[in-house]
Amino acid sequence: MGRIAFLTDRSPDLALPAILSLGLDIKVEPLAVDSVAHLAEIAPTAVIADAEENPEHAHRLLEAIVAERSGVPVLVLLSRSDLERFRWQDVAEEFVHSGCSVAELRLRLAMLTRRTGGGGDATIRLGPLSINTETYHVGVAGQVMDLTYKEFELLRFLVQRPSRVFTRSELLQQVWGYNFYGGTRTVDVHIRRLRAKLGSEHEGLIQTVRGVGYRVAEPGASSEP
């Protein structure tokens, strides 16, 4: 599992002691509306929300995360007495109690990952971009991308070969197949659509190499070889 955003107003070792023994990349944020807005920058593969001290407030924040349609799975930290106070099933995919063992927390996170199609060998990443090759789930900075099949195949092909430059003809052959009779303009159209869906902040992940073709590269890399 990649980075986890832990929304809590307590020290992590007090809120969920077992999490410190998992060796995960944890980004701790306060249980506040501003933190929900920062999730796209953090780009977590999962969110843990501490609802033990103020379950009503936590539930409202989780509703805001759901409304953002980020697609990031949520594990909520609950007191046993609050299990039926709110409809947690509407805002989270899994729950845990603060006193859980390391083995239980590891198992619940693994179940969460499997259920939501994240993590594992099926997921490839490039900066803020994540692609699950089994579920066809694509996200950028925590936001779900709605791609057509060919857009997905083109993006996957490029991301699996970062920094390598491909001509339009090579992309036609590798992504569309040797029996495809369309012109190279097909590649340009799909690249343009992918950049539009990535948005202005992340469209630079797909770079044009003048006079050659296209490549993908980590954020900040030069657009010219």
Q: Indicate whether 197 belongs to any domain.
A: yes
20 and 100 co-located in one domain: yes
Q: Quick: pLDDT tens for 5-30.
A: 899 999 988 999 988 887 777 889 99
In this structure, what CATH number is given to the domain that contains residue 71? 3.40.50.2300
Amino acid type, 95: F
Give the pLDDT score at 178: 60
Range of the domain at 65: 4-116
At a CB cut-off of 8 Å and minimum separation 6, what does 39 contact?
5, 47, 65, 68, 70, 72, 142
CA distance 161 to 14: 43
33 and 110 co-located in one domain: yes
Give the pLDDT score at 219: 62
Spatial contact of 158 and 166, defined as CB atoms under 8 Å apart: yes
8 and 112 co-located in one domain: yes
| Number of independent structural domains in the chain | 2
97 and 186 co-located in one domain: no
Averaged over 43-63, what is the pLDDT? 89
90 and 173 co-located in one domain: no
